[in-house]
Structure 1
Amino acid sequence: MGVKLRQQHSKILKGRKQKIDRRLKRKQWEDQERPMFKGRNIHYEVAEKIQAIRCGGIGAIHQMVQRSGLVEEINAKVKLLKVHVPYHESDHVLNIAYNILVGGMRLEDIELNRNNEGYLNAVGAQRIPDPTTAGDFTRRFTPEDIGSLMESINTVRSRVWAEGRKEKWKEALIDVDGTIAGTYGECKGGMNLSHKGIWGYAPLIVSFANTKEVLYLENHPGNVASHDGSVKWIDRAIEVVKPYAEEICIREDTDFSLTGNFDRWSERVDFVFGMDARAVLIKRAGELPEEAWNALVRKPRYAVKTQQRQKPENRKEELVKEKGYKNIRLTGERVAEFEYQPGKCEKICVGKELERGKRREGAI
């Protein structure tokens, strides 16, 4: 896009914004005789050449994908097709990814994009795979192929970080957690009943909190423990982020306190893991002197720009009191530190005991 054209577009957008600002400007209204939704004559026209799509940014995203080299990287590392008639591996991967980006919820929604000429033109494709073909492609993947696909994405990610950042992150935060992906299907392979009574899957997600990017993902049946098989993905995530960060901190909940790896990880990164309030930890916390405990002051979720709003009455709490139900409320938070050495560690960790009212939680 030329400089003059960009200036022209900026002028048009600025003018439209000013018109909206004038229409929405605060003023003292008088009593109106007619409703605001008055209605007016409107004309619909079908242009012969100009096409509009509801996902206008998909073209810009596809240009970014091409310029970053992601297409070539996928085709080089993911080998699922012996011949390409007419689609390559990257065509199938982008077809499914773009379907989600434009609001699709199922593979069947690809058919909407497939019959949208504006969408096809935006991604520069004569045609795209239909939902059945897309489903057949996903069934070709083995766990090793999925790993290759994630590594191809991370290779391009590292290239973008290297070219786009002038300095390293001072502290890179890697989050590891599991979630529950429910499904309404009854014939889905690998699904199971989770501890919450939801049929579906329990994917493990390793993400880069600084940019909210998912580095690795592994799908599990719904009844599998969230930390199952997480060590190898944590190690891989460290390798991806290490060249671009001065320090790395891994954050996980109690399920991921894999103490057998603490010594090895401590040589390369910092970590904050939750620990279950076991009897030995509760005893240690109970033996601490009162002066060891300090009030925990948390940062506010947001800054009040005008004045603090008055909170409405909590109707739920009123009903609980009226009916005489047990009412558990957070009365305060205190924190204390002490040294603790897990059985599988040679090094001593610093433990923090958090007291919420009468409930205690541990972190290392």
Structure 2
Amino acid sequence: FDHKSIEQLNQANQELLDKVHQIRDSKALIIDLDSTHADTYGKQESASYNSHYGTVGFHPLVAFDGVTGDFLKAQLRPGNVYTSNGVVEFVKPLIEHYNEKFPEMIPFLRGDSGFAVPALYDLCEEESVYYVIRLKSNANLQRLADELHPASIPSDTTKTEIYYEETEYQAKS
């Protein structure tokens, strides 16, 4: 695959997804952002070493529908780019498409800590997209978590307990 064929695949896929969303009458869309690694062999153009995976390849961006599991979009990238590299340019057309084509659908975006960049937060705010992006733990976040829900000894270890809290946090960097 080259960039042109990936774009053609994305376009054909989007046309099919639009028909499916019309039939399903989807009420929400969860855009699950991720990056992955694809090993390459030989001398592939734009393939490069990725220290996290310890091998040469591509580091594509991918998006899936978190409700249905449907593939939404992919973008080839060199193997040595960071997870968030180009994420706004990647996801903005997707968000704009769904906001325009399906204005009644409630859009959400979900990503891991590799996507914790202010430009993505800003895009979500501008486009009225709800978002959840994991942050890497640090002492300040741990302190906030401890204040919101102090650690306690579980009363029944056979049951799972899940706690949700909300707070505001802004990194100093």
TM exceeding 0.5: yes
| Pair 247,197 (structure 1): closer, same or farther in 2 beyond 3 Å | same
8 Å CA contact 1:249–1:269 kept in 2: the answer is: yes
* 1:179 alignment counterpart: 36
Are residues 1:192 and 2:43 paired?
no
* 1:341 alignment counterpart: 169
C-alpha separation between the residues in 1 aligned to 2:149 and 2:69? 40
Query: Paired residue for 1:282, among 131, 134, 142?
Result: 142
C-alpha separation between the residues in 1 aligned to 2:97 and 2:35? 20
Deviations 1:259-300 (A, max 9, x none): 233244135111111001122212222334638x8x8xxxxx
CA RMSD of aligned residues (A): 3.1
Report the CA distance between 1:166 and its aligned residue.
5.9
Report the CA distance between 1:147 and its aligned residue.
6.7
Report the CA distance between 1:256 and its aligned residue.
0.5
* 1:215 alignment counterpart: 72
Report the CA distance between 1:199 and its aligned residue.
2.1
Deviations 1:184-226 (A, max 9, x none): x232222222212122111111222334332221112222212
Are residues 1:234 and 2:62 paired?
no
| Pair 189,260 (structure 1): closer, same or farther in 2 beyond 3 Å | closer
Report the CA distance between 1:176 and its aligned residue.
0.6
8 Å CA contact 1:173–1:210 kept in 2: the answer is: yes
8 Å CA contact 1:251–1:273 kept in 2: the answer is: yes
| Pair 155,198 (structure 1): closer, same or farther in 2 beyond 3 Å | closer
C-alpha separation between the residues in 1 aligned to 2:18 and 2:33? 23
Task: Calculate the TM-score normalised by the size of structure 1.
Answer: 0.39
C-alpha separation between the residues in 2 aligned to 1:289 and 1:155? 43
- Counterpart amino acid of residue 23 in structure 2: R
SS of residue paired to 1:251: strand
C-alpha separation between the residues in 1 aligned to 2:16 and 2:93? 14
Aligned residues: 163
C-alpha separation between the residues in 2 aligned to 1:197 and 1:334? 35
- Counterpart amino acid of residue 257 in structure 1: A
Are residues 1:269 and 2:129 paired?
yes
Deviations 1:22-73 (A, max 9, x none): xxxxxxxxxxxxxxxxxxxxxxxxxxxxxxxxxxxxxxxxxxxxxxxxxxxx
Task: Calculate the TM-score normalised by the size of structure 2.
Answer: 0.75
C-alpha separation between the residues in 1 aligned to 2:83 and 2:18? 31
SS of residue paired to 1:250: strand
SS of residue paired to 1:335: coil
- Counterpart amino acid of residue 19 in structure 2: V
Which has more radius of gyration? Answer: 1
| Pair 227,261 (structure 1): closer, same or farther in 2 beyond 3 Å | closer
C-alpha separation between the residues in 2 aligned to 1:211 and 1:338? 27
- Counterpart amino acid of residue 107 in structure 2: I
SS of residue paired to 2:167: strand
8 Å CA contact 1:203–1:217 kept in 2: the answer is: yes
8 Å CA contact 1:150–1:215 kept in 2: the answer is: no
How do residues 1-364 of structure 1 correspond to structure 2 at under 5 angstroms?
A: 143=3, 145-146=4-5, 148-150=7-9, 152-154=11-13, 156-157=15-16, 159-161=18-20, 165=23, 167=25, 169-183=26-40, 185-194=41-50, 195-242=52-99, 243-244=101-102, 246-267=105-126, 268-288=128-148, 290=150, 335-343=163-171
How high is the sequence identity, in percent, across the aligned residues? 23
C-alpha separation between the residues in 2 aligned to 1:215 and 1:231? 15
C-alpha separation between the residues in 1 aligned to 2:6 and 2:39? 23
* 1:88 alignment counterpart: none
| Contiguous gaps of at least 5 residues in structure 1 | 1-137, 296-331, 345-364
Query: Which structure: greater helix fraction?
Result: 1
